[in-house]
Amino acid sequence: MRPRHRRRRGAVTAVAATLLALSSAQAVSALPASAGPATSGPATPAAPASPVSAVSGVSGVTPGSAVPAAEEDAARALARSLADPVRRERVREAVLASGEVPLTALARGGLKSVLAAADQRIAAAKGLDAGVGPLLRLRLGDASMRGTLGAGTAPWVAAAGVDDDAPTVVAYDSRGRAHRLDARHVPSRPVYVVDIDGSRALAAGLGVLDAQLRHYGLASAAPAPTRDGAARAPRARAATAGFWTTRVTAVELADDEEPWIKGDAEIYTLVTGFGQDGKVRVDPVDMPYLDNDGTVYRPGQILVNWSYYKYDLADAVMMEDDGSTNYHDLAKAIATALLTITDHGAYIPLVDAVLDAIPDDWWTDDPDYVDSWYTLSRTDDGTRHGARGNGWMTLEPYFVRES
């Protein structure tokens, strides 16, 4: 299950509120141009053990979201294709043999064209290069369905792009009919879930985000040595032998009882602070191991590289991508707010500024705010709980020596 939590728009700190009161239009006009792309009748359900009702003409798509719409189109097309017993058996064998199967690899002919087009729509909607590769994947909605699928029960097909608060999940049978399934109770009938390869999409997306943040000036470089190498800042001198970091030795996120149709989490953290040039910088950090809530992970991952920061303080905002994030738009939204903040010689927490930079309508299903950590220190050594109480991290100072 994904450790996903809604953002609660709390009161912004006095300093941040004053700074963010600046006109966003002025901030946008000051940004350089973005580099790269923007972006039948009811049936009686055969699984009475779970609360299910059949419906007709239900899309289950969040309005205005291209990614869930593409997933839904792929799910309907795949469901209809399963009327062919040969294709149905081929898909069944592939799903039982692997936890997650590339969807386009299972298709032939017209179905392959439909799925390839959906894949391209998803990549474009997320602001990813077309060369990112196939993103659509197929998996079982729950491991408990393996038995009934293996026994030959005809599966239905659903799209994963369902809001956490939705009471039902829409699944399609091989005749194209839509059925509502209870979102909180795993059905006894096997359900294939059309989803995105989150690890691939997030890794590519964070690359786009990082490049765009640099494009907007939110990723200042580490201090460069002078021509004679003599006059360097103390932190730069230390960098000749290595640099100090903060490392995550353990991390756990809370349980939030989300729908069974959701797969593993796709977690990343935005580390923010003031760069050596006194400008705000943002460093995206992928955390691909954080799949499940209620599980303690011990990654030994570097979270903050202090050689990039002016102060020995930084903030961290942990997020989860639910699939529809356009990383070009996310970078622009963050830059619009943070470029209005200037260094006045004292550290200013930036968590609220990051959260308030993202439009409210982005929080329907993606990207979700998981938790945040204010004023992480270079000397932090121990467990720090998130501001929202949704997670904790054990941190330690870690010196990276030059090889």
Instruction: State both tokens at 209.
Output: 């985000």
- Write out the two tokens for 156: 């239905």
Where b means 16+ CB within 10 Å and e means fewer, 31-55 reads eeebeeeeeeeeeebebeeebbeee
Q: Looking at residue 55, what is its pLDDT? A: 38
Q: Give strand ranges (E) for 254-311.
A: 267-274, 280-287, 301-305
Q: Are 297 and 305 in contact (CB under 8 A)?
A: no
**Are 281 and 229 in contact, with CB atoms under 8 Å apart?**
no
DSSP 357: H
| Residue 392 Cα distances to 177, 249, 376, angstroms | 44, 11, 13
For residue 375, give the H/E element and its range: strand 368-377
> Per-residue DSSP letters for 60-96?
-PPTT-HHHHHHHHHHHHHHHHTTSHHHHHHHHHHHH
- Predicted structure pTM score: 0.76
CB 280 within 8 A of CB 338: yes
Kindly state the tokens that stand for 128.
């990813």
User: Who's near 221: CB < 8 A, 6+ residues apart?
Assistant: 275, 276
Task: Give bridge partners of residue 242 from the DSSP assignment.
Answer: 401
3-state secondary structure 234-269: HHHHHHCCEEEEEEEEEEEECCCCCCCCCCCCCEEE
State the Cα–Cα distance between residues 9 and 49, nearest whole angstrom: 40
Q: Does residue 367 have a cis bond before it (omega within 30 degrees)?
A: yes
Neighbours of 10 (CB within 10 A): 12
Q: What is the mean pLDDT for each group of 10 consecutive residues in the chain (403 residues)?
A: 41 33 35 40 33 35 67 95 94 91 88 92 90 92 94 94 82 96 93 93 91 82 42 48 95 76 87 92 93 93 96 94 81 87 88 82 63 96 95 97 81
C-beta atoms surrounding 18 within 10 Å: 11
pLDDT of residue 190: 96
What is the pLDDT, as a whole number, of residue 62? 38
Lookup: tokens for 7: 């953002």
What DSSP element (H or E) covers 26? helix 24-30
